[in-house]
Amino acid sequence: MRTLAVLGASALLVDGARVNKKRHSSEAQKTDSFSAYDGKPALGVKICNAEELEEVLEVGEGCTFLTEFFDGMPADGSCIEDTMVCDEEAVPKLMQRSYLTQVKMLHEDAGAYFRSNVELPQSYMSIAGAELSEDFFAEWRTSDAMDARVEAAVAASGGIAKLEVAGKSLQGRDMKIVRFTGAGYQAGMPKVVLTFNLHAREWITGMAGVYAVERLVQKVKASPGYLDGVEVVMMPMANPDGFKHTEGLARFHRKNMNTNSSLCLGTDLNRNFPTGWDSCSSLKCGSTVPCADTFKGREAGGEPESQVIMKVLQESKMTVMIDVHSFTQLVLASWGWTDEPHPRAAEFAELGNKMTNAIAARHDTTWRYGTPPQILYKAVGTLTDYATSLGALGYCYELRPQSKAWSLLGFAPPASYILPSAEECFDGILVAIEHAKAS
């Protein structure tokens, strides 16, 4: 749910298609995940109230905001200390604002900085007989490698898991689900549904999805009756087009790849679902501005990826639904679009706190539980709220890292975070499955 906003006409083809002319004058020059940021300065800024935030958003035309709290000021009243990647012409405007005394130049060339400090995805060559060894999670992997890994896990499951194509993305890529159907399960019985990597730049969530598929296969192999009377459905990659874009040109792209205007790419899929969709049109909760990274789309549920996911969620009654994001180590419950407590708030809290405690216990980390308005900000049209509207207990996990010290690279932490984060996530999933089994 963390957002990355690109504002203004100068941000040509948001987070991906605008390549710095000085650095990339040759069309033949190879691009990579950081080409969209080449030649652009990165600024550090401190914002301590809503008025300052609004003015920064207005003045910072042509800036990419890598912030945890772009949807609004933190609910705990703290200041925002974060980073903006800006077009050169935006820098003087920001520096001249008298109240922004804590604006400072961090890096003159953000692309070069990212290239030196952020790890790129790697392919993976399976070794015969060791296809599911843990070295897969030692590095970031390409979408092709993750897809092949899921296929290998399903193929090795002996029928425990089934791989299905649920539909197509905007650009025609398969959107796949892995279905675990326990003995005796029928529609209407306990069911858990999970989605991963809805926001393209949140690579750690896609890796957690691959890990969850593998580990659930292993758990059912070890305990064949574990899922009796229960179904678990996982979508390891919910935004395949956007993820491909982060691999090839813009590592911090958030949205899908819909061309909503000549200036920018993408709809925020986690603002496009019907629940609460029309209740806010601000940059802070679900914008109508196509170049905002919270752009909620032209109609509720109108994006191809949203429609595929909605179809999966609608196929039968769900007990629990979890949408996995990053970062800040949170377990978030519905509602996100309103301050009003959900009628099942006590149920949400009981399971939410159990999951939070299990996740935190795995590696003795710090996690928090609450609703988005309580500990973050309001957000309309989220997948979590949509699942809740269908009768599920809908949650969002925000995986590692936690600290604001990683705000510049919070969406691209060291690869050493992958495996422990995936382990934490899976422990939370197991709690959700146990809850469903007891329902």
% of the chain exceeding 70 in pLDDT: 83
pLDDT digits 0-9 by tens, 48-84: 877 777 676 666 556 776 655 555 666 667 777 777 7
**H/E element holding 313?**
helix 304-314
Beta bridge partners of 331: 369, 397
Q: Please tell me the pTM assigned to this model.
A: 0.88
Q: What is the mean pLDDT of residues 379-394?
A: 97
What's residue 70's pLDDT?
54
Can you name the CATH fold of 3-117?
Alpha-Beta Plaits (3.30.70)
What's residue 46's pLDDT?
78
What's residue 221's pLDDT?
97
Nearest of 256, 235, 229 to residue 164 by alpha carbon: 235
pLDDT digits 0-9 by tens, 106-119: 788 989 988 988 89
Q: Is the pLDDT of residue 103 over 80?
A: no
Task: Indicate the SS3 state at residue 325.
Answer: strand
Question: Residue 269 corresponds to which tokens in the numbers above?
Answer: 């899929």
Highest mean pLDDT among 36-45, 91-100, 217-226, 403-412: 217-226
pLDDT digits 0-9 by tens, 408-424: 578 899 999 999 999 99
Integer-rounded Cα radius of gyration of the chain: 21
What's residue 62's pLDDT?
61
Residue 43 to residue 31: CA distance in whole angstroms = 23
Domain boundaries, the chain: 3-117, 134-438
When pLDDT is cut at 50, 70 and 90, the band that residue 336 belongs to is very high
Decide: 254 and 200 in contact? Cβ < 8 Å: yes
Q: Lowest mean pLDDT of 28-32, 133-137, 318-322, 416-420, name the range.
A: 28-32
Decide: 42 and 83 in contact? Cβ < 8 Å: yes
| CATH superfamily membership of 134-438 | Zn peptidases (3.40.630.10)
Decide: 22 and 111 in contact? Cβ < 8 Å: no
Q: What is the mean pLDDT of residues 287-303?
A: 89
Question: Residue 290 corresponds to which tokens in the numbers above?
Answer: 């196509």
Question: Residue 135 corresponds to which tokens in the numbers above?
Answer: 């070295």
When pLDDT is cut at 50, 70 and 90, the band that residue 45 belongs to is confident
